[in-house]
Amino acid sequence: MTISSPVLRNSMRLILPLTLLYALFAMLKGHNEPGGGFIGGMIFATAVCTYRMSHGYAAQLRLLPIHPRILIFLGLGLALGTSAVPLLLGHPFLRSAVGEFHLPFTHHPFHYASAMAFDLGVMLVVVGVAVGMITQLSEELE
């Protein structure tokens, strides 16, 4: 379903990058604060679907040139892989590695956890499911 509105088309230029950036931000801050892969994925998918509304399906394919099924596979694989790695090291499933490292030119140490990769996987799954569903439904409508 495409809405041919110049207002929407032009404002999407601003909205799209901001929303995608915010999705990434929500995903990353989910480690210690409200947010996380699921919310980040929803926001990402909203951006993609709004873009589809303003620019059409072909433009969406250029923006996200991966089949949603593959996104779901990558996301689930990443999440499952991250959770299974500790098994090889003799730790329980889902055990997260945590630590800190210093980025050059910054004062604050950067706190990382391998659970972040799990969250990224969740995000990919949510994007894949949401975009895939909306694509299927709008195909039926058209």
Partner 1 sequence: MNLSNLIILFIVIPMGTGVLGVLFKYQVGLMRVLGSLSLASTALLAVGLLIHLRSHETGILVTQMGAWPAPYGISVVFDSLSGLLLAASSLVALGCYVHSFSTVSAAAQARYFHPMVQLLMFGVNLAFLTGDLFNLFVSFEIMLMASYCLLTFGGTRLQMTQAYKYVLLNLVGSTIFVIGAGLVYGMTGTLNFADLARFVAERQALGEDLPTGFTALSIALLLVFGLKGAIFPLWFWLPDTYYTANVSIAGLFAGMLTKVGIYAIARTFPMIFAHGGSEATKVVMPILAISAAFTMFLGVLGAVSHHNIRRILAVHVISQVGYMVFGLALMTQIALAGCLFYMIQHMVVKSCLFLCCGIIERHTGTDDLDRSGGLLRRDWYLALVFFIAAMSLVGLPPLSGFFGKLVIIREGWDTRWWLSIFGLLTGALTLLSMLKIWSYCFWSPQAAAVERPAGESPPPGSMRPAYAGATLLVLVALFLGFGAQPVYEIAFRAGEQLADPRDYITAVLGPESLDHLAGRDLRSPAELAAAARREATP
CA–CA distance from 27 to each of 48, 131, 138 (Å)?
16, 18, 27
* Backbone phi and psi for residue 89, each to the nearest 5 degrees, phi listed first: -95, 5
Closest CA to 51 of 41, 69, 63: 63
Give bridge partners of residue 112 from the DSSP assignment.
Answer: 99
Q: Between 54 and 83, name the residue whose CB sits nearer to partner 1.
A: 83
Residues that bind partner 1 (CB under 8 A): 69-70, 72-73, 76-77, 80, 83-84, 87, 90-96
CB of 72 to partner 1, least distance (A): 6
Q: Between 51 and 128, name the residue whose CB sits nearer to partner 1.
A: 128
| DSSP code for 67 | -
CB of 49 to partner 1, least distance (A): 21
CB of 93 to partner 1, least distance (A): 4
Q: Between 48 and 78, name the residue whose CB sits nearer to partner 1.
A: 78
